[in-house]
Structure 1
Amino acid sequence: MSLPVLAQSPRKAQVWLTTHGHQYALSPMAPAVFGAREALPIAIEVDATDTRQAMVGFGASITDASAYLIQGLAPDARAKLLEELFGRQGDGIGLSFARLTIGASDFSRSHYTLDDTPGNAPDPQLTHFSIAPNLADVVPVTKAALAINPQLKVMASPWSAPAWMKSNRNLIQGTLDPAAYDAFARYLLEYVDAYAEQGILIWALTVQNEPDFEPKDYPGMRFNAPARARFIGGHLGPLLAARGSSAPLLFDWDHNWNKPHEPLGVLNDAKANPFVNAVAWHCYGGTPDAQSPVHAAFPDKDVYMTECSGGDWEPLRSGGLTLQARRLIIESVRHDARGVLFWNLALDQDGGPHAGGCDTCRGVVDIDTRDGALTRTDEYYALAHASRFVPPGAHRVGSSEEVDGVDNVAFVNPDGGRVLVVTNSAPVPRTFSVREGDSAFHYTLPGKSLATFTWSPAP
């Protein structure tokens, strides 16, 4: 007697969708079914054997403003929000990368550094150094995030050296006085040590946020490539090397795509180069494809996208969700980024608090200080479509280029699962095919929408 042959269930891709205006917001949809389907004019081919960079993760900056707002929530609301942002259970989106500011940024309630002195008197021994301004909010919020996600990688960037170290003796504008190079190097490592004492490991540093820009109303400091190279090669780099494997990584640049000659200037310096681990980029000028030539010239240096804000300006106003997801989650990663950071993790209903700088920015979440209500922004959903499904250690893998406004990036997770993030930037629906190996599915994305597809490899 022969036994009946059981039909094998067709392989399916799970689907989550977010649309412009959030009618659908990370919403689970009906699965897409694999089969012997033909390639469509818009065809995405996924090659899981074409392994690229390992991912560190996706996240945002825990600025002073963000920490102040989150810490100000009622304890239950605060715990629930942090679990949603940094956890992986339930509705958690699993953020695994964060950035802190060393002293004030524009998104602080006042201008300060961690070694301010009376009358800007020199303090080369750093006797006035203190992280006291961070102990009420930045430190407890970051520690709470780490308790939820111990894999969280935390980097840190200064907006200005203390005024007594600068050419103009002011936190606003100016340059770092060469006579203070040694003190500034020790200042950065004093920060690393002080945070370590609080249980927060600073995984990576940059020497200056946006070193090619001198803001007029909040702390900043011009620090061009020749000066950064001298500082890194002769001062900070040797101090990091002396710490061995316990030292934080060092990222150069931390500024826009439109000036790749700046990080190249540091990487071409024989003394500075050995101490630099990666190049960090911002999104406010140029395009993501600037990352790849720099990486190709120095393939031992990693790539990170370390700041991009949401806000009410062009092209964000018209580009919205799909612009942010396409540039940051898809194109930046296709151009070698191992991690992606948006700017403020949280802002209030007025885009603050801030002391100078951007008055049209928005956070990954906006917290209404009048009633505690949360708004999950386009940046939240752009991040979540990657962070929730792509854990640290996943690898980007090969996939087809953009066709007719449909962009994508593909990953293989440590457990072998496949993840594909797709945007349709067109205002009308687009139907496309997705193929891996001998099997494919078809899918139609609404206009101005973002989807994540997950599936298991073929048996």
Structure 2
Amino acid sequence: MSSYGLGRRQFLTTAIGVAAAWTQVSENAVAAPQREEASHGNSVRVWLTDVSAEQWVAPQSAVRFETKRTANPLTIKIDDSVEYQRVQGFGAAMTDSAAWLINKLPSAGRTKLMQELFDPSRGIGLSMVRSPMGATDFNASGSYSYDDMPAGQTDPALSHFSVQHDAPYIIPALRQALSLNPSIKILATPWSPPGWMKTSDSMVGGTLKSEYTAELADYFVKFIQAYRKAGVPISYVSPQNEPMGTPTWPGMFLSAYQESQVIQEIGKAFEANGISTKILAWDHNWDVPSYPETIFNDPAASKYAAGTGWHIYSGNPSYQTLVHNDYPGKEAYLTEATGGLWQGDNQTAFNDALGTWIIDSMRNWANGVMLWNIALDPDMGPLNSDTDGIAMCRGLVTIDPAGGKVSYNVDYYALAHASRFVKPGAHRIYSNTFGEGSIENVAFRNPDGSKVLIAYNSGSSAKTFSVADRTQSFDYTLNAGDAVTFTYYYSRWSYGE
């Protein structure tokens, strides 16, 4: 199958051949942050990950800017007069499986885990959550939509619509996350609309029947209204997860022309109902920029399409820049990326998550990054019992529902390098980078004026580099495979300017 249809199903099937045994990386979350994440004056706070030593986002001794010019050829120059995209946040998906596992924890354990995931002061401050609309391949129960009907029956009036399935544990988990971090933005995405809307008459396979485009738009309206009533506002939706994939779990093929029509109907329905939720196109792999560009090139659809959702299963982040350059007014989000057994070791997993999905994606105009399951069990499930899933993906955390044990995985710590320090509303600012095999980096300025620099040594040997901001600089050495987050305030008064 060409990359046009490559989704997680094909990606994982290919990965089976190189899968290796996986060891949990840690049982401890990131240490509680100090009262201030950034230092004042010429002091710079430092948070280090040494993968080989299993040292994760650990506070180090502060370093200091000095008034000196550096001749180091590996000098990262920070310039906040050059400003790029606004950052909405970093996060992962509250799938049915993740919420079900979190709900299985004892009350104290559940509270502790949610704090460590979402609390900006006591945890890593995840600020974006992807929430599937109905069943995916990761479900503790079988396939479901919000308007299921017996085979052969339809419900164009949506008189049977209900989000009751989500009431016991999905909605409570989202509400708890919002209570810990009210700035969280939620992206809702269906893997499939109700089967009766589709040519397959099933959650699996098929495509949307053209006569149900308006009904699908109403389905989105009812979902957003029901979730808002339950205390869960939805900031973004995308019409279809991986619209050019055909998995054996819930899914639906949707051409760019079809999605353009759906976006128009959803947009008009949102306008009619006073809904401000933004619509993201595509929600599939990097290497098919023609799909979202087809939608943006249609004025009737483009007026409702705020941006693009991207997945990592084929292509690379440079395609985000391609679409940005063609349509600079559109947002971009990495909406799904998962680690798993095929990565083989912690270092490879960390390189993928921090180096590619966070640093490279943000340098290519991403407004936010969301990984896949927040939590899975030791068997990398639960999988949807009605479908043919693949138990190879890894959550941010692993929860053993039998004993209530929680283990924090490498993806959690990679996200922490960004989510704990880069606040919603930050802007990416200029920093030069040295690319793969050297010191990779990305820099931000937070709304409070503090600056954040994430640097990662993707080379095979230790490297000493310099960081320069205006007339100030400092030196730092990173071993191969290590990463660091620096936080500081630039003060003209402190530097005597």
Normalising by structure 1, report the TM-score. Answer: 0.94
Query: What is the alpha-carbon distance in structure 1 between the residues aligned to residue 463 and residue 390 of structure 2?
Result: 36
Partner of 1:129: 161
1:42-121 paired onto structure 2 within 5 Å: 42-90=74-122, 92-109=123-140, 110-121=142-153
After superposition, the C-alpha distances for 1:59-88 in whole angstroms (9 at most, x for unaligned) are 001000000000110001101111111112
Query: What is the alpha-carbon distance in structure 2 between the residues aligned to residue 271 and residue 88 of structure 1?
Result: 39
Query: What is the alpha-carbon distance in structure 2 between the residues aligned to residue 191 and residue 118 of structure 1?
Result: 21
After superposition, the C-alpha distances for 1:22-43 in whole angstroms (9 at most, x for unaligned) are 5211101122221125232222
Query: What is the alpha-carbon distance in structure 2 between the residues aligned to residue 11 and residue 195 of structure 1?
Result: 46
Query: What is the alpha-carbon distance in structure 2 between the residues aligned to residue 416 and residue 315 of structure 1?
Result: 40
Query: What is the alpha-carbon distance in structure 1 between the residues aligned to residue 58 and residue 152 of structure 2?
Result: 54
The one of 227, 239, 245 aligned to 2:269: 239
- Say whether the 8 Å CA contact 2:94–2:130 is kept in structure 1: yes
The one of 418, 428, 436 aligned to 2:469: 436
Partner of 2:316: 287
Which runs of no fewer than 5 residues in structure 2 stay unpaired? Answer: 1-39, 493-497
Partner of 1:389: 421
Partner of 1:363: 395
- Say whether the 8 Å CA contact 1:347–1:365 is kept in structure 2: yes
Query: What is the alpha-carbon distance in structure 2 between the residues aligned to residue 22 and residue 392 of structure 1?
Result: 31
Partner of 1:271, secondary structure, is: helix
Q: Report the CA distance shift for 1:394/1:211 in structure 2 as closer, same or farther (over 3 A).
A: same
Query: What is the alpha-carbon distance in structure 2 between the residues aligned to residue 280 and residue 182 of structure 1?
Result: 23
Q: How far apart are 1:405 and its partner, in Å? A: 2.2
Q: Report the CA distance shift for 1:26/1:264 in structure 2 as closer, same or farther (over 3 A).
A: same
Which runs of no fewer than 5 residues in structure 1 stay unpaired? Answer: 1-8
- Say whether the 8 Å CA contact 1:311–1:317 is kept in structure 2: no
Query: What is the alpha-carbon distance in structure 2 between the residues aligned to residue 411 and residue 315 of structure 1?
Result: 32
Identity score, percent:
39
Q: How far apart are 1:415 and its partner, in Å? A: 1.2
Q: How far apart are 1:127 and its partner, in Å? A: 1.2
After superposition, the C-alpha distances for 1:240-283 in whole angstroms (9 at most, x for unaligned) are 22234x32100000011011111111111121111101111111
Partner of 1:5: none
1:2-401 paired onto structure 2 within 5 Å: 11-21=42-52, 23-35=54-66, 36-90=68-122, 92-109=123-140, 110-216=142-248, 218-233=249-264, 235-244=265-274, 246-314=275-343, 319-355=348-384, 356-401=388-433
- Say whether the 8 Å CA contact 2:240–2:282 is kept in structure 1: yes
Q: How far apart are 1:344 and its partner, in Å? A: 0.4
Query: What is the alpha-carbon distance in structure 1 between the residues aligned to residue 235 and residue 86 of structure 2?
Result: 16
- Aligned length in residues: 447
Query: What is the alpha-carbon distance in structure 2 between the residues aligned to residue 330 and residue 87 of structure 1?
Result: 23
After superposition, the C-alpha distances for 1:167-203 in whole angstroms (9 at most, x for unaligned) are 1111111101101111111111111111011010011
Partner of 2:454: 421
After superposition, the C-alpha distances for 1:298-347 in whole angstroms (9 at most, x for unaligned) are 11111111110111114877622122101111111111111110000111
Q: Report the CA distance shift for 1:122/1:83 in structure 2 as closer, same or farther (over 3 A).
A: same
Partner of 2:115, secondary structure, is: helix
Q: Report the CA distance shift for 1:173/1:318 in structure 2 as closer, same or farther (over 3 A).
A: farther
Partner of 2:3: none
Q: How far apart are 1:408 and its partner, in Å? A: 0.3
Alignment-mate amino acid for residue 345 of structure 1: I
Alignment-mate amino acid for residue 342 of structure 1: L
After superposition, the C-alpha distances for 1:361-400 in whole angstroms (9 at most, x for unaligned) are 0001111223222221111011111110111111110000
Query: What is the alpha-carbon distance in structure 2 between the residues aligned to residue 249 and residue 78 of structure 1?
Result: 31
- Say whether the 8 Å CA contact 1:232–1:272 is kept in structure 2: yes
- Say whether the 8 Å CA contact 2:41–2:491 is kept in structure 1: no
